[in-house]
Amino acid sequence: MNIIKKIIEGVPDYNQFMSVAELNESSKQLRDKYPGLVELLEIGTSKDGEPIYALKIGSGNKKALLYGFPHPNEPVGSVMLDYLSWKLAEDEEFRNIFDFTWYIVKVADVEGAKLNEGWFKNPYSFREYVYNYYRPAGNEQVEWAFPIEYKSLKFDKPIPETRALMKIIEEAKPDFIYSLHNAGFGGVYYYITEEAHILYPIYEKAAKDRNVPLSLGEPEIAYAKKLDEAVFIMPTTEDSYDYYEKYSNVDPANIIMSGECSFGYARKFNPKLFELVCEVPYYYDERVQDTKETDRSRRELVLASLNSNHEDMQTLKGILEQVKPKISVHTKFQDALEYFIEVSEKSFDAAVKWAKTAEELNRNATISEKFDNELVNKSYGLFKWGMLYRMIMVNYEVNKDPILAKTAEKVKTLIDERIEKLEQQMNFNVIPIRKLVQIQLTAGLYSALYMQGR
């Protein structure tokens, strides 16, 4: 335990995130420095032909797959993996604690990560984040493009980036998978694939030791089963299907437009697989962990939040439709926006039915739940407007159409006004990257030990 503690405390004081090129160069240097121990595998290529690399370290009996950028706007895990890979190679005593062969993919979504690099060197500005944000359509997200056949749902078109991970999963049959996600605003929370009581206090301590709050407000996914404070059973696409089957009047296969997650796919190759997701935020407000009761109904707040999201997406859709005749350059921003609009429309009725009938909403909201519904919800909504602005500007730079210029200015004004209002209503406390890396590293190492001992 002292060795692990030393490794965790040794995390550097990062002040920015690494680019794709920097991460790849670090991997090549590690391979060159430790040629007998470290392999650098090209496990696939992206849609545009960019190589996707995996480091293979050690030769333990168990197999671990750790991958960063499951969503390309989530870079914390890539920094953690870079640090961990060097420590595994440099420190034999640390490496020998684990009976693992490590497969480490620092960048699962190469092109998506590059589209976010505009804010990586200034990670503490919410405004820079909004204006340089990109998140692909769900069926083009590495994490949610694994094949699945469940009831009436069949998804069999994994993107090349997902196929690269599938190759490792099928060949290595991992015992432990760590998908490195992170949130934007809020607190720390975890997904795991089984009850593991010994880990709950460790997860809580990992955050509290660094004065980073747990996320105690509204759960990210309504139907996720809670195991402990800020710890949930990892939901799969099968769970999503069952949720829509219960609350929707249409075939869930018509609502779900993406595939399975890594756990849903990988458990077929190793039923004893343990997987972890540790979500850490960039910014927080003390209200994310305030569990005092308010005088507002939780059901009322959730319904208001759902309606606000729906109206905002319809407004965005209207502007997108207006500028479409002027679009001459097709972008990934447009693909993502059209996907999110369609999903929003298809899933809205089911979400409202759940909110009107769910027993767990039949009480007053806590301060954290009220904060999530009224403010955090609005901060996340801004990112789609940022992608709309980027889409318009890419096209304006090509054809200089005055209508695009006017629309871009309108969208920019909306974004700036909303950011200013949020900054008046929320405390954008910036969390040092070092703390976020330490939390993810702590959770990952002790989860690996748990799996190894189990």
> Is beta strand 153-155 parallel, antiparallel or unpaired with respect to 176-180?
unpaired
Q: Report the pLDDT value the prediction gives residue 448, as an integer from 0 to 100.
A: 98
- The 3-class SS string of 282-295 reads CEECHHHHCCCEEE
CA distance 258 to 145: 6
Nearest to 103 by CA among 56, 40, 53, 169: 56
- The 3-class SS string of 91-113 reads CHHHHCCCCEEEEEECCCCHHHH
Q: What is the pLDDT of residues 71-112, one digit of tens each?
A: 999 999 999 999 999 999 999 999 999 999 999 999 999 999
Mean of the per-residue pLDDT values for the chain?
Answer: 97
Q: What is the pLDDT of residues 50-74, one digit of tens each?
A: 999 999 999 999 999 999 999 999 9
Q: Report the pLDDT value the prediction gives residue 415, as an integer from 0 to 100.
A: 98
Quick one: CATH architecture of 2-285+431-453?
A: 3-Layer(aba) Sandwich (3.40)
Q: Report the pLDDT value the prediction gives residue 324, as an integer from 0 to 100.
A: 96
**What is the rounded average pLDDT of the residues 228-243?**
97
Report in angstroms the alpha-carbon separations of 348 from 243, 247, 267, 300: 13, 10, 31, 16
In the chain, pLDDT over 90 holds for what percent of residues?
98
In the chain, pLDDT over 70 holds for what percent of residues?
100
Query: Cβ neighbours of residue 91 under 8 Å, at least 6 residues apart?
Result: 3, 7
Q: Report the pLDDT value the prediction gives residue 63, as an integer from 0 to 100.
A: 98
Q: Report the pLDDT value the prediction gives residue 1, as an integer from 0 to 100.
A: 83
Q: What is the pLDDT of residues 272-327, one digit of tens each?
A: 999 999 999 999 999 999 999 999 999 999 999 999 999 999 999 999 999 999 99
Burial of 70 (0-12, 13-18, 19+ CB in 10 A): buried
DSSP 3-state percent helix, strand, coil across the chain (nearest 5): 55, 15, 30
Query: Cβ neighbours of residue 401 under 8 Å, at least 6 residues apart?
Result: 326, 395
Q: Report the pLDDT value the prediction gives residue 382, as an integer from 0 to 100.
A: 97
Sign of the Cα torsion 245, 191, 454, 85 reads positive
Question: In DSSP terms, which residues pair with 45 in a beta bridge?
Answer: 51
Residue 361 has pLDDT above 90, yes or no: yes
Q: Report the pLDDT value the prediction gives residue 186, as an integer from 0 to 100.
A: 87
Domain boundaries, the chain: 2-285+431-453, 292-426
CA distance 88 to 78: 15
DSSP H or E stretch at residue 12 = none
184 pLDDT band, cuts 50/70/90, is: confident
pTM tops 0.85, yes or no: yes
